[in-house]
A and B are shown apart, each in its own frame.
Chain A
Amino acid sequence: MRRAVSTSLVPLVLASSMAGPVQAQVRAVEVRAPRAFGYMLGDLVRAQVDIVVEDGFAIQAASLPQRGALAYWLDLRDIAVSQADAGDARRVRLDLTYQTFYAALDVRSLEVPGFTVSFVSQGASGATTASARVPAWTFTISPLREILPPAKENPQDYMRPDGRVASLDPRPTLFTGLGFAGLALAAFAGLARDRTWWPFRVRRGRAFAAARRRLRGLGGRPDAAEAYREALLALHRGLDETDGRRVLADDLDRFLDRHPAYRGQAPGLVAFFEASRIAFFGNDTARARGRLARPEIAALAARLARAERTA
């Protein structure tokens, strides 16, 4: 918006270079504004000041007018300085934003006060200063209301009302919360499926999880030898199901080639197959348990089930 405004700036005051030694240093001062009329109480009034100075002169920031109230009816809100090269000279542009608080009864002309800006040039022989006088300029302000409003019984009726806070709408926030709750539910279902929790107890690709559950179910068996053999069988079944065929001790390295996710469990599996051979072919459960005890089988099944989830 500001750019659109500045394309149609109208020159208001053109101060040609002044007489005296300043002449060569400050070449021109020009004040421009989008318009010099049609302002109302509280409006922002923008002006642009172009000062052309000799090359090498820099503006002294302390000499710029201060932001704040300039008069009881005028504020200086903002002042921005930009510089550009203009041939052999330097163009310093001040973008000033005023705000007027003049409560006009009729259209009347107001004068924005001028000010002086200092420039300094650091030469070999010392600093040279120059000052540019930005002239005052005028704009006209228009009234907001008729001079004599129709009479009202209660003078408070002349005023605009206090205004009301719009009621707050909690729906967007609550719907977002509901959306996240739904997402949490779906994500929890995904987690339950991954971990074969209820209702995903039986699912393809989770043979070791099933074996682990079967092992847990063997806890209270009275016959220790029978329970041990059942535990071995449960893990065997898990291996067979994972591979889709019977896996015997000699198939182990091919099994691990086909399912590299379980390669970390190779030592445990080797011990398991050894214990299994002793238990079933050597028929010596006690020695087999010495090789791989029940809790170790359970731990192996747990590790395999964890590896299964990353397969």
Chain B
Amino acid sequence: MRASSNPTGTLARLRLSPENLHAAREGSAPGFRLAGAWRRMRPHVLLALPVLALLAAIGFGLAGWRILRDDDTIKALQAGRDVPVAVDAASPLLLARVQHLARRGVTEEIEPLIDVLDRRGEPDRSARARYALANARLRQAFGYLERGDLDPAGPLITLARQDYRRALQDRPDYWDAKFNLDVASRLLRDFPDFDRKSGDELKAEPNKIWTDIPGQPRGEP
């Protein structure tokens, strides 16, 4: 505003020159518009770049720290220490916890963790967790059989076979699961007292949901 009242008239001459200059430079260089855009953006890019890089560095640093901490927990669990693990922990940590519980034979705490792995859509880890659970049950069944206590062993073997089967459904090339399913299946042959035809398959039968609960009386007297 103040400049327009300028008595020297410098600005009036200036007003004309930009268009001339712009046209001249545009004609001479085809990439001029792009170069101009870059010149205008450069200060903003230079400001944004260190901020974004710093945020990324902090993010990766936090993730790395979390992995370090999880690895420590996994090592502690594998060393046999009973370290609690939250259900929202990383999947490898959950699997390590499942394997720890399976070694100690605490099968009832394993199933919620397997459900979490299932919900996360990780078939490989679900399969390995189910395999560990089935192994724990099979070991318990062996324990009963060694003491000559056949009644509780049968349902445990059936549950183990179901879990081996589910593990194999998630991972058909899981050779350890195939092997142990074979071991469990032959136990049923070796002890024909067990109900051989009982719910090994996983057919959804809403009316017979409780047929495989251990200790449930089944069949005719």
Taking A145-B179, A163-B99 as contacts, is the C-beta distance between A75 and B74 under 8 angstroms?
no
Q: From residue A288, how far is it (CB to closest CB) to chain B in Å?
A: 14
User: How distant is the Cα of A256 from the Cα of B22 in the complex, in angstroms?
Assistant: 12
Which parts of A55-104 form the interface with B (CB within 8 Å)? 68-69, 71-73, 75, 77, 99, 101, 103
Interface centre among B46, B65, B103, B180 (most CB of A within 10 A): B46
Known interface pairs A160-B179, A174-B61, A177-B57; A168-B2 also in contact (CB < 8 Å) = no
Residues of B contacting A267 in the complex (Cβ-Cβ under 8 angstroms): 2-4, 11
Interface of chain B residues 125 through 184 with chain A (CB within 8 A) = 128, 131-132, 135-136, 138-139, 142, 145-146, 165, 168-169, 172, 174-183
Residues on B with beta carbons closer than 8 Å to the beta carbon of A270: 3, 6, 8, 10-11
Q: Are A103 and B185 also in contact (CB < 8 A) when A156-B142, A187-B50 are? A: yes
Interface of B toward A, CB cutoff 8 Å:
2-4, 6, 8, 10-11, 13-14, 17-18, 21-22, 39-40, 42-43, 46-47, 49-50, 53-54, 56-61, 63-65, 67-68, 70-71, 74-75, 78, 92, 95-96, 99, 102-103, 128, 131-132, 135-136, 138-139, 142, 145-146, 165, 168-169, 172, 174-183, 185-186, 189, 197, 200-204
Pick from A183, A185, A261, A271 the residue with the most CB of B within 10 Å: A183
CB <8 Å contact, B10 and A309: no
Q: Is A219 an interface residue (CB 8 A)?
A: no
User: Cβ of A125 < 8 Å from any Cβ of B?
Assistant: no
Residues of A within 8 A of B176 (CB): 160-161, 163
Partner of B14, one of A77, A249, A253: A253
Sample of 10 further A-B pairs with CB below 8 A, known A181-B54, A253-B17 = A69-B201, A103-B181, A145-B182, A156-B142, A159-B179, A162-B99, A174-B61, A187-B49, A252-B10, A309-B43
Number of chain A residues whose Cβ lies closer than 8 Å to a Cβ of chain B: 67
- Closest-CB distance, A285 to chain B (whole angstroms): 19
